[in-house]
Amino acid sequence: MENHFVLLAVLIVVLPLLGSLVAGFLGKVIGRSATHCVTISLVGLSFLLSCYLFNAFVLNATPLIDTDLYTWAISGDFHFNVAFLIDRLSVTMATIVSFVSLMVHIYTIGYMAEDPGYQRFFSYVSLFTFAMLTLVFADNFLLLFFGWEGVGLVSYLLIGFWFNRESAVFGSLKAFLVNRIGDIGFMLAMAAIFTYSHDLNYKFVFAHVDLLLNKSIILFPGLSVSVITLTCVLLFIGAMGKSAQVPLHVWLPESMEGPTPISALIHAATMVTAGIYLVARMSPLFEYSQPALSLVLVIGATTCLFMGLLAVFHFDIKRVIAYSTLSQLGYMVVALGVSAYDAAIFHLITHAFFKALLFLAAGSVIIALHHEQDMRKMGGLAPFMPITYGTFLIGALALSAIPPFAGFYSKDIIIEAVKAAHLPGASYAYFCVMAGAFITPLYIFRALFMTFHGPKNTESSVSESPWVVLIPLIGLAIPSIVAGGMLIGPMLFAPHTLLGNSIFVLPEHNMLFNLGQHFEGAKIMALEAGRTLTFWLAMAGIVAAWFFNMEYPQFAESLKQRFSWLYNLMVKKYGFDDFNQLVIVHGTRRIGEFLYSISDLKIIDGIFVNGSGRFIQWFANVSRRMQTGYVYHYAFAMIGGVVVLLVWIYLGL
């Protein structure tokens, strides 16, 4: 039976790769229809197999399977094995990834219908799915890193898919470089783990975590740090790059230059959630480092609040949702920081549904308006696009944590867990997540009102999108409504939670256990939402969005004029991009030019290359003058040599 499950896991991973190869190498031969039929069928089959494993491992409690598939390389005593860990966490993630990917594949038929790179796009999306599934099922750090780099590489190709656009090329390069910064941290973490554990297999490292405890490493003379803390911080730096946490967040808004389907895939269930998955998977390490958990908590809280604020000041509908993703990832990271790993994965799941829904609904609007993304040129679209409007509204309510929509359950639990935490930085984090409860509905309902309500600001005719676009919207809207209420009890508060032993939490850090003592069920939680401050903050955010955008937009304009310095700060995105461009880009370029002029031109070329040539030329000229051809010159040299020899002998005596 174990071999049966292993085969299914291999098929889940390999089928999207097969679809990518068919679309990439044979797409032009078999045509568009056959290309999307093959890729969608294979990803759909991968999703069905994931559901089968979810039923077996999560619902029916099949024991985890950790198996080697084959040995890729051997170096001394170390064996690099391609091996899968099939447990509750990996199977849950695979189910979510394959489902959202399937919806995106179907949606792509309508969105990319007129694009000349149709087959190439399907190939990239399937390859992206393969890389993410490899990351999820890996049982060791090296295979995890293979999938990690795979999603980074394919995201570069997808963000820059329209490579004839300068902005797309810039966005893809920015995403690639910023992720490399995070990857340096990840590689250093692997080096530290291998140095002290002499292995990179999760099971071995977690079982021998004592090898990292009570040991320190000297970073600088006089400065030492705990090995477990250093390892966790480095792992989190890797997670910051993929999950776009401050200050490594700058790539994610630029990823909006890619087609909308990949925006949904990157931002909902795949690449940006890889960092969340990494920290949750590494919970047996993070639990033993309070400084690392506090760092995770503070970075997540900062991202949650300050990136959400930016969404209020942008007019590109995709960028508003992109900044929303940053803010929601901050909520997940905050949950990780207070050891509520199950709650972080719970919010990851609900967020995957409603954020993919919002992106694809926004894409439906963009299609109807002939690829217009500026919300100021929209307005009044609700009567013309009722299904798109209804699904966008569902996504907005779920994102805003309005009961009984999915986001209500996952976000409120995170806020309560932060409130109960006592880690350094918990008070700051609680303020940030509470402020985020108001800001989230403010920006998403601002987008909804500007897009679907008010006067129609476009002169072109508008009609509802084709069914191939609407079916994925409906498919994502359903779990955006019901998934939270269905999953909160079994996932967080059941005697045996859905993720089970995949997550490790020390008893003194178990905030969810304490919250579970007061949990009376999803229905009661929804009915009693009116007693909580977070609910009224969310309602206030919706009312404020209506007030400033529909009733009194001139009041918002007057605030903009009065607080122009604040408005400019937000429009410039706190200056992160300007700083990176001025200091990092231009600074490193100037350093490079300086080093080029000194080391390359003056030292290497001037001294070693040209200098050696000039020395040989000088030596040759000197040597040439010594060979005059006159006998009396040679006789004089011989006499002089004899005199010097005699003097030397005399002095030596």
**How do residues 128-143 score in pLDDT, each as one tens digit?**
999 999 999 999 999 9
Residue 160 lies inside a defined structural domain of this protein: no
Together in a domain, 553 and 583: no
The pLDDT of 605-609, averaged and rounded, is 77
410 and 365 together in one domain: yes
Cβ neighbourhood burial of 1 (10 Å; 0-12, 13-18, 19+): exposed
* Residue scoring higher pLDDT (468 or 395): 395
Going by the DSSP 8-state scheme, the letter that residue 60 receives in this structure is: S
Average pLDDT over residues 150-169: 86
- Reference 259, options 123, 111, 99, 130; nearest CA is 111
569 and 587 housed in the same domain: no
> Is 66 in a helix, a strand, or coil?
strand
Q: Hey, what are 442's tokens?
A: 């403010």
Of 495, 236, 498, 202, nearest to 343 by C-alpha is: 498
d(CA 355, CA 271): 14
Residue 156 lies in a domain: no
The DSSP-derived string for 478-545 is HHHHHHHHHHHIIIIISSS-TTGGGS---GGG-HHHHHHTT---HHHHHHTGGGSHHHHHHHHHHHHH
Query: Does the pLDDT at position 607 exceed 90?
Result: no
Mean pLDDT of 308-328: 89
Percent of the chain past pLDDT 70, that is, above it, reads 98
Strand partners, 430: none
Looking at residue 516, what is its pLDDT?
82
Please tell me whether residues 448 and 302 are part of one structural domain. yes
Name the one residue in this structure whose structure tokens are 């609007």.
Answer: 365
Domain boundary among 522, 549, 573: 573
Position 248 scores a pLDDT of: 87
Q: Are 605 and 278 in contact (CB under 8 A)?
A: no
pLDDT in tens, 496-531: 888 888 898 888 888 888 888 888 888 898 888 888
- Quick one: 244 and 203 in the same domain? yes
124 and 225 in a single domain? The answer is no
**Average of pLDDT values for 186-213?**
88
Nearest to 148 by CA among 278, 268, 58: 278
Query: What is the mean predicted confidence (pLDDT) over 333-355?
Result: 92
543 in the same domain as 598: no
- Among 545, 573, 601, the domain boundary falls at 573
| Confidence band, pLDDT 50/70/90 cuts, at residue 269 | low
310 shares its domain with 380: yes
Confidence of residue 612 (pLDDT cuts 50, 70, 90): confident
In a domain, 20, yes or no: yes
- In this prediction, residue 337 carries a pLDDT of 92
Task: Compute the distance between CA of residue 109 and CA of residue 456 in angstroms, rounded to an integer.
Answer: 28
Q: State how far Cα 89 lies from the chain centre.
A: 18
Q: What is the DSSP string of 215-244?
A: -EEEEETTEEEEHHHHHHHHHHHHHHHHTT
In a domain, 48, yes or no: yes
Residue 653 has pLDDT above 70, yes or no: no
Whether 250 and 294 share a structural domain = yes
Q: Work out the pLDDT band at 225, boundaries 50, 70, 90.
A: confident
Domain housing 610: 575-652
Sorting pLDDT into bands at 50, 70 and 90, what band is 435?
very high
Domain membership flag for residue 205 = yes
519 and 525 in contact (C-beta within 8 Å)? yes
- Both 130 and 210 in a single domain? no
Buried b (16+ CB within 10 A) or exposed e, 444-472: bbbbbbbbbbbeebeeeebebbeeebbeb
pLDDT tens digit sequence for 281-294: 999 999 998 999 99
pLDDT per position as a tens digit, 39-78? 999 999 999 999 999 999 988 888 988 888 888 878 777 7
Residue 84 lies in a domain: yes
pLDDT at 1: 63
In the structure encoding, which two tokens stand for residue 472, read together?
A: 């994925």
Residue 155 lies in a domain: no
Tokens 């079916």, residue located: 471
Q: What is the Cα–Cα distance from 206 to 501, expressed in whole angstroms?
A: 12
Exposure of 262 in the CB half-sphere (CA atoms within 13 A): 31
1: Cβ–Cβ under 8 A, 6 or more apart, which residues?
Answer: none
Helix, strand, coil percentages (3-state) for the chain, rounded to 5, are 75, 5, 20
> Where is 340: in which H helix or E strand?
none
Which domain-ending residue is among 555, 573, 591?
573
Percent of the chain with pLDDT over 90: 37
Model confidence at 236, in pLDDT bands (50, 70, 90)?
very high
- Can you read off the two tokens belonging to residue 274? 């890889």
| Residue at token pair 């893809």 | 172
The C-alpha atoms of residue 495 and residue 230 are separated, in whole angstroms, by: 34
Confidence at residue 390, expressed as pLDDT on a 0 to 100 scale: 93
Mean pLDDT, residues 536-549: 90
279 vs 554: which has the higher pLDDT: 279
Q: How far, in Å, CA of 437 to CA of 529, rounded?
A: 13
Q: Do both 331 and 270 map to the same domain?
A: yes
In a domain, 161, yes or no: no
Helix (H) / strand (E) element for 40: namely helix 2-54
Q: Which residue has the higher pLDDT, 460 or 520?
A: 520
Q: How far is CA 174 from CA 177, 582, 585, in A?
A: 5, 14, 11
Range among 169-173, 302-306, 462-466 rated most confident: 302-306
Shared-domain flag, residues 499 and 609: no
Number of domains in the chain: 3
Q: Average pLDDT over the chain, rounded to whole?
A: 87
pTM: 0.88
Task: Evaluate whether 243 touches 273 at the Cβ level (below 8 Å).
Answer: yes
**Which pLDDT does position 586 carry in this prediction?**
77
